[in-house]
Amino acid sequence: MRDPEHGSAGLAPPPEPHETGAVDRPSAHAPAQPIVSVADVTKYFGPLRVLDSINLNVVSGQRIVIIGPSGSGKSTLLRCINGLERVTSGRVIVDGMVVGDRKTPMARVRSEAGMVFQQFNLFPHKTVLDNITLGPIRVRRMHRADARRQAMELLERVGLPEKANEYPGRLSGGQQQRVAIARALAMRPKVMLFDEPTSALDPELIGEVLEVMRELAHEGMTMLVVTHEMAFAEDVADVVLVMDEGQIVEGGPPGKIFKNPETPRARTFLARLFDRSRHHEQPAR
């Protein structure tokens, strides 16, 4: 799975796109297309190379956790998949749509690749219910009554039905993040992207968000998760990818990556991570 020389997860690049911004649908006898394909993606911010020839395919139902030191390109990779950042070179395809192609509707890309951010990004002047129904009504053209019914079902799912008419400012950070997850799910995405969704939360609120994410994973949601929550990664991930300096330096099942990483860069990062975890777990004196 490893190809540190080229920042690759060792997966073949996707097929060539049509001019319409879409790729061929598989025949009845061909393997299904990945939900997400990242092919030789490089991203610069000015002179700084943030992503370096990344290759990655994500198939339906797969749960991938991405870890790595700060500044390794993890969040930028998710933002390129969602179309919030344009790649400098290479190609990203989401559900057959070439991200960034002028003929690809970006609203449709983002409806298929739902994203949950570090900060909750809820509209402060709208109620919880309005935050969740806005996208389905405007983008999916869902009838308002149907959108409200779906929103209440999702609030039940994340444990917050009683907060439907509250404003975000009256909710805790953990509650706001659960609402943000419900908002992303309301678009009925084919893949969920989580960009360190617990990093802005107080420690006592992290568990409630991770529990919602665990439920989604166990229900079969396709997920790409950037996180430092190792217990969560061990519990739900099919594959853990280690990123450093804009490359995927190693990838594999969580048991192998955490217990027996092969590359020096992965070993160094994981040693620091586990040392920090042990330090935080020591009782105060």
**Bigger pLDDT: 230 vs 16:** 230
**Per-residue model confidence (pLDDT) at position 143:** 96
Torsional sign, CA 229, 239, 194, 222: negative
Q: Is it the case that residue 54 has pLDDT exceeding 70?
A: yes
**Per-residue model confidence (pLDDT) at position 273:** 79
| Residue indicated by tokens 């990004």 | 121
Q: What percent of the chain has pLDDT over 70?
A: 85
Specify whether the CB–CB gap between 116 and 181 falls below 8 A.
yes
**Per-residue model confidence (pLDDT) at position 30:** 52
Q: How confident is the model at residue 180 (pLDDT cuts 50, 70, 90)?
A: very high
**Per-residue model confidence (pLDDT) at position 278:** 53
CB atoms within 10 A of CB 18: 13
Residue 90 φ/ψ, nearest 5 degrees: 95, -165
> By CB neighbour count within 10 A (0-12 exposed, 13-18 middle, 19+ buried), where does 10 fall?
middle
Overall number of domains in the chain? 1
Q: What is the DSSP letter of 157?
A: H
Average pLDDT, the chain: 87
Question: What is the extent of the structural domain holding 148?
Answer: 4-281
Q: How confident is the model at residue 8 (pLDDT cuts 50, 70, 90)?
A: very low
Crossing angle for the helix pair 173-185 and 203-218, nearest 10 degrees? 20
Specify whether the CB–CB gap between 154 and 185 falls below 8 A.
yes
**Bigger pLDDT: 274 vs 98:** 98
pLDDT tens by residue, 218-232: 999 999 999 989 889
Specify whether the CB–CB gap between 100 and 273 falls below 8 A.
no
**Bigger pLDDT: 285 vs 204:** 204
Domain at 244, CATH number: 3.40.50.300
**Per-residue model confidence (pLDDT) at position 33:** 78
CA 209, CA 81: separation in Å to the nearest integer?
23
- For the residues 20-33, what does the mean pLDDT come to? 49
pLDDT tens by residue, 100-132: 999 999 999 999 999 999 888 899 999 999 999
**Per-residue model confidence (pLDDT) at position 203:** 87
What b-and-e string marks burial along 251-271, b requiring 16 or more CB atoms within 10 Å of the CB? Answer: bbebeebbeebeeebbeebbe
Starting at the edge strand found earlier in the chain, the sheet holding 89-94 runs: 48-58, 36-45, 89-94, 97-98
pLDDT tens by residue, 182-240: 999 999 999 999 999 999 898 889 999 999 999 999 999 999 999 989 889 999 999 99
**Per-residue model confidence (pLDDT) at position 145:** 96
Q: What percent of the chain has pLDDT over 90?
A: 75
